[in-house]
Copies of this chain bind each other. A is one copy, B any other.
């Protein structure tokens, strides 16, 4: 029954404060509108506390850090924690630089995070405290596969238990756990990796889902992962000869815009372990 999480977003139109990278920020804004939420962006330390106060949730994405935006993330995060708003961390490129790794670890230490969503290399970096992420993509050696599935589920459950956050590791197979249960999700298309920012978009959507479903963070996070993956499948089915990653990007956002609760219920491909 994932459809109620989608329908709550469409009904409640959660306002999401995003401190995110300047590469994919426009897509994050449009996908938040597409899924039924409403986006606002602000990273200036003097502005963020006011902005987060009028919002319902906070999405922190470290894709293009600046010293002042790190300060903005901490200020906004503390204010959101005071207000009881869900806070999500997307540790883009953790493991690829000391600044990214250390900033992600600091945000995990100083803030109460409702959820952390990244690729397998980024999440392993956070678990180990250091890493060797290859840029912004996951290392093949770190990928969740059918062969290492049990072990991967154990890792994600353990890390969720340790941190008290929902942990979402996304890739060919997606794992979302709160420490007790783990959603194993098999929606999506490999071609989504040829679009910049599908992970950032998912983090935006997931924050909207967490905000509109405050009693069910695990299910809301898992539903958001299904939405993004299913949109990738729907969009792919509309691709025509000559279309490439730019058109695919647009069609994915379009698919999210048009997705109903029934579509999600029918298309979501997951098991709970």
**Which residues of A line the B interface, CB within 8 A?**
15, 21-27, 29-30, 33-34, 38-44, 46-47, 50-51, 54-55, 63-68, 93, 96-100, 133-137, 194-197, 238, 242-247, 249-258
Across-interface contacts of A34 in B (CB, < 8 A): 194, 244-246
28 A-B residue pairings within 8 Å (CB atoms): A22-B41, A23-B25, A24-B29, A26-B26, A26-B197, A29-B197, A30-B196, A30-B249, A33-B194, A33-B195, A33-B245, A38-B135, A39-B136, A40-B136, A44-B65, A44-B66, A44-B99, A47-B65, A47-B100, A51-B93, A51-B135, A54-B134, A242-B254, A242-B258, A245-B254, A245-B257, A246-B251, A247-B254
Is B50 touching A98 in the complex (CB atoms < 8 A)? yes
Q: Is A247 within 8 A of B245, CB to CB?
A: no
Residues of chain B contacted by A238 (CB below 8 angstroms)? 242
* List of B residues within 8 angstroms of A253 by Cβ: 244-246
Verify B258–A254 contact, CB threshold 8 A: no
| A137 pairs with B38, CB closer than 8 A | yes
Residues of B within 8 Å of A33, CB to CB, are 194-196, 245
Q: Which residues of B contact A66 (CB under 8 A)?
A: 43-44, 68
Closest to A95 in B: B54
Distance in Å: Cβ of A260 to nearest Cβ of chain B: 12
List the B residue with the shortest CB-CB distance to A27.
B26
- Are B51's CB and A96's CB within 8 A? yes
Question: Which chain B residue lies CB-closest to A24?
Answer: B26
Known contacts A23-B29, A47-B97, A50-B98; is-contact A258 B244 (Cβ 8 Å): yes
Nearest to A51 among chain B residues (CB) is B97
A252 CA to B248 CA in the complex, in Å?
13
- B99 near A135: Cβ-Cβ < 8 Å: no
B250 touches A254 (CB 8 A): no
When distances are taken between beta carbons in the complex, the residues of chain B under 8 Å from A24 are: 26, 29
A63 CB contact (under 8 Å) in B41, B242, B255, B256: B41
- Which 5 residue pairs are nearest across A and B when measured between Cβ atoms? A244-B257, A244-B254, A50-B97, A246-B253, A29-B196
Other A-B contacts than A46-B99, A243-B254, 5 sampled, CB-CB below 8 A, are A15-B135, A23-B26, A34-B245, A44-B67, A54-B133
> Which residues in B have their C-beta under 8 angstroms from that of A67?
44, 46, 68
